[in-house]
């Protein structure tokens, strides 16, 4: 098998940081088309040498992402798991991870947050229809391509990132640490990963979005996290009851009871309508 599928050249530029299993770099992709050179800025993920046993899962995540195409899914140009280095080449997303962005900004409008939630639900619906489990949905893996500005009537634009190493391959402690994003069914013996698990993670991600990127259960140790699921607890509910209901429905301990993507999208649309009415009632144009 030829695991390397680059149809382009690339160079590695500066290091941007460290992920759970990877080091990320800014880079330049160079294609020659019709005798002309085209250069594009890209992001390179290099699998850490001490995690190189995961190369097959790394390849799997890359090829899953490069085989599907949706406006709210990150573009993956190629992967190489040949030789010493395992490298994934993907689209560089301008504003980076959503959790950090929300923390940094502090005050992103409710309508922008709703736009983001809706776009993520569309990505989820697309995967659902294709019967593809993502397995690692969280605000950290939602990347922001464009900022929203309600005064300019521009919407934010997000891209769901690759899932990285498949959750079912991870050590139990790593999975425990992913509480509250990981569906509780992944801590069963044997762990069960299905489309329903992504719904749970979507619920936790909604919570992060509407709490300005705050990390849920931050600083909780693994035993406390395990007990959180063991006693069927829920994240602190939002003041906005319709939103709190949605999150609770997604984070249902019974995987089969979680709502379908269609229902999630419909509920989000209803949230937008009611939000609009509340926030804009006084300034509605006269008809």
Chain residues in the site for ligand ATP (CB under 6 A): 16-17, 19-22, 24, 43, 45, 74, 90-93, 96-97, 136, 140-141, 143, 161, 164
**Is the CB of 141 or the CB of 155 nearer to ligand ATP?**
141
Total interface residues for Mg ion by CB under 5 A: 2
Q: Which does 196 bind (CB under 5 to 8 A by kind): Mg ion, ligand ATP, none?
A: none
80 binds Mg ion (CB under 5 A): no
141 binds Mg ion (CB under 5 A): yes
CA distance from start to end of the chain = 65
CA distances from 37 to 28, 29, 197 (A): 12, 10, 43
Closest separation between CB of residue 33 and ligand ATP, Å? 23
Within 10 A of 275 (CB to CB), how many other CB atoms are there? 18
Q: Which does 22 bind (CB under 5 to 8 A by kind): Mg ion, ligand ATP, none?
A: ligand ATP
Q: Assign 27 to helix, strand or coil.
A: strand
Q: Which does 110 bind (CB under 5 to 8 A by kind): ligand ATP, Mg ion, none?
A: none
Q: Which does 248 bind (CB under 5 to 8 A by kind): ligand ATP, Mg ion, none?
A: none
**Is the CB of 155 or the CB of 161 nearer to Mg ion?**
161
Q: How far apart are CA 60 and CA 58, in angstroms?
A: 5
Site string for Mg ion, 155-194 (x = CB under 5 A): ------x---------------------------------
Q: Which of 252, 266, 250 is nearest to 209 (CA)?
A: 250
Q: How far apart are CA 58 and CA 38, in angstroms?
A: 27
Closest separation between CB of residue 145 and ligand ATP, Å? 9
Are the C-beta atoms of residues 10 and 27 closer than 8 Å to each other? yes
Q: Which of 49, 232, 24 is nearest to 140 (CA)?
A: 24
Beta carbons within 8 Å of 285's beta carbon, 6+ residues apart: none
What residue number has its CB nearest to ligand ATP? 19
Closest separation between CB of residue 143 and ligand ATP, Å? 5
């Amino acid at each position: 098998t030829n695991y390397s599928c680059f149809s382009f050249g690339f160079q590695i530029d500066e290091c941007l940081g460290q992920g759970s299993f990877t080091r990320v770099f800014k880079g330049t992709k160079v294609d020659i088309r019709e005798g002309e050179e085209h250069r594009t800025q890209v992001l390179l993920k290099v699998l850490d040498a001490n995690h190189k046993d995961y190369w097959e899962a790394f390849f799997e995540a890359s090829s899953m992402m490069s085989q599907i195409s949706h406006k709210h899914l990150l573009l993956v140009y190629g992967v190489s798991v040949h030789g010493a280095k395992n490298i994934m080449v993907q689209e560089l997303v301008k504003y980076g991870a959503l959790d950090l962005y929300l923390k940094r900004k502090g005050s992103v409008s409710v309508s922008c947050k709703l736009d983001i939630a809706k776009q993520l639900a569309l990505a989820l619906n697309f995967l659902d229809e294709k019967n593809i489990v993502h397995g690692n949905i969280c605000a950290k893996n939602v990347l922001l391509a464009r900022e929203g500005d309600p005064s300019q009537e521009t919407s934010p634009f997000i891209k769901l990132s690759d899932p990285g190493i498949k959750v079912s391959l991870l050590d139990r402690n790593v999975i425990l640490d992913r509480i509250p994003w990981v569906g509780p069914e992944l801590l069963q013996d044997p762990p069960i990963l299905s489309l329903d698990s992504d719904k749970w993670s979507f619920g936790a991600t909604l919570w992060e979005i509407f709490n300005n990127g705050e990390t849920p259960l931050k600083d909780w140790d693994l035993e406390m996290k395990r007990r959180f699921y063991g006693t069927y607890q829920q994240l602190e509910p939002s003041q906005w009851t319709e939103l709190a209901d949605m999150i609770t429905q997604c984070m249902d301990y019974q995987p089969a009871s979680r709502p379908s993507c269609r229902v999630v999208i419909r509920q989000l649309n209803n949230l937008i309508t009611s939000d609009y009415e509340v926030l804009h009632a006084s300034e509605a144009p006269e008809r």
